[in-house]
Homo-oligomer: A and B are copies of this chain.
Amino acid sequence: MSKFWSKLIRGLDPYVPGEQPKDRKYIKLNTNENPYPPSPAVLEAIREYTGKDLRLYPDPNGDILKTTVAGYFRVKKKNVFVGNGSDEVLAFAFITFFKQQKPILYPDITYSFYPVYSKFFEIKANPIPLTGDFRINLADYPVDNGGIIFPNPNAPTGRFLPVEQIESLLKQNTLSVVIVDEAYVDFGGKSCISLIENYPNLLVIQTLSKARSLAGMRIGYAIGSPELIDGLERAKNCFNSYTLDRLALVAATAAINDRVYFETTCRAIIATREWLIAELEKLDFEVVPSTANFIFIRHRNRKAEELFSALRQRGVLVRYFKLPRIDNHLRVTIGTDDEMQEFIRQLQAILSGN
């Protein structure tokens, strides 16, 4: 603590991302990155673009990217906001819509950045417990709130909520903004984007870090009614005029345009996930149903923290959260088939005591 820090900064608990160790080579199954490289069209577009224009500021509005996203989802450009990763988009959304008198609502077990944003922007929050089997039950979300946010599928559980249930919530909850964070929706879930036309208080946030293999380029976007998008633009233009650099804009546009590559790699990850779940069940793991590029697992006899450490020693990184209710679970990113076979081999060795 420093006497030069504001009182606000002194009181914060910053978010801690999954570790990115440099000490040795790991099979990295801890930060939900895509095991497949970005589309070759993306890499080609970046290389072709790299030149003297980098001396000039990027388009502060990201018009070409917005038009591309809008075309892909059959919405209008005025329905699209773009940002430096979906984390930045989320941060702007919190200050724009959630800084209200009433507390906002999100699941007690969810993306752990939500409570961090709440404290950073001095927003009151009221976490709503998941059910015993880690479901979001939207009937538990009182209408009298300052806003609602949840990932769909949820993280770190991977459980998906059908669009019909979200529409039921929107019919009741008309006075505050509902944000559906669809970072992981492309691995078997279904997007709510079709609902934005009828519900001006719905904001859907997606990222290019997961299904489009571009975590290294930091690109996210939000889709919603023009009044929500305008609010996000106001926040962004009070913080940083140009949040996406020229190469990120080019990479994102090329990635959205390569639909075939995107669909092919998503299908591959889903197939690996289904194989992996069957293997883990043979090894006495309970697996929460997942429509994400990760699974949330618990062994019937062995402690998660011990398995986490043993895997780490053997060169396999998974994510362990030492938090109430989930401190006996591991979150495992779906890698390539080879990586997951190695993961299973290492687990077998650990469980058999070799």
Contact = CB atoms under 8 A, between A and B. Distances in A.
9 contacts: A4-B176, A4-B227, A6-B95, A9-B96, A20-B57, A42-B54, A43-B51, A50-B50, A88-B239
A255 to B, nearest CB: 10
Interface in A193-220: 200-201, 209, 213-218
Interface stretch (A73-81, A246-254, A278-286): A246-254
A119 interface: yes
A43 B54 contact: yes
Given A60-B17, A242-B85, A246-B216, A9 B55 contact: no
A238 to B, nearest CB: 4
Nearest to A1: B227
A237 B195 CA distance: 32
Interface string A42-61: 11001100111111111110
A91 B92 CA distance: 13
Of the listed residues A31, A98, A216, A231, the one surrounded by the most CB atoms of chain B closer than 10 A to its CB is A216
A187 interface: no
Of the listed residues A37, A98, A117, A241, the one surrounded by the most CB atoms of chain B closer than 10 A to its CB is A241
Interface size class of A (residues with CB under 8 A): 35 or more
A244 B51 CA distance: 19
B33 A52 contact: no
A99 B177 CA distance: 28
Given A60-B20, A216-B55, A245 B245 contact: yes
Contacts of A215: 54-58, 242
Contacts of A16: 237
A176 B4 CA distance: 6
A268 interface: no
Contact of A240 (B91, B231, B233, B244): B91
A8 interface: yes
Contacts of A91: 239-240
B46 A85 contact: no
Interface string A1-21: 010111111001011110010
B15 A119 contact: no
B54 A216 contact: yes
B14 A31 contact: no
Contacts of A241: 15, 17, 87
Contact of A97 (B6, B33, B218): B6
Given A46-B247, A218-B243, A247-B247, 4 more contacts: A9-B95, A28-B56, A34-B55, A37-B52
Contacts of A247: 46, 216-217, 245, 247-248
Contacts of A97: 4-6
A100 interface: yes
A230 interface: yes
Which 4 interchain pairs have the tightest Cβ spacing?
Answer: A37-B52, A14-B237, A2-B227, A6-B99
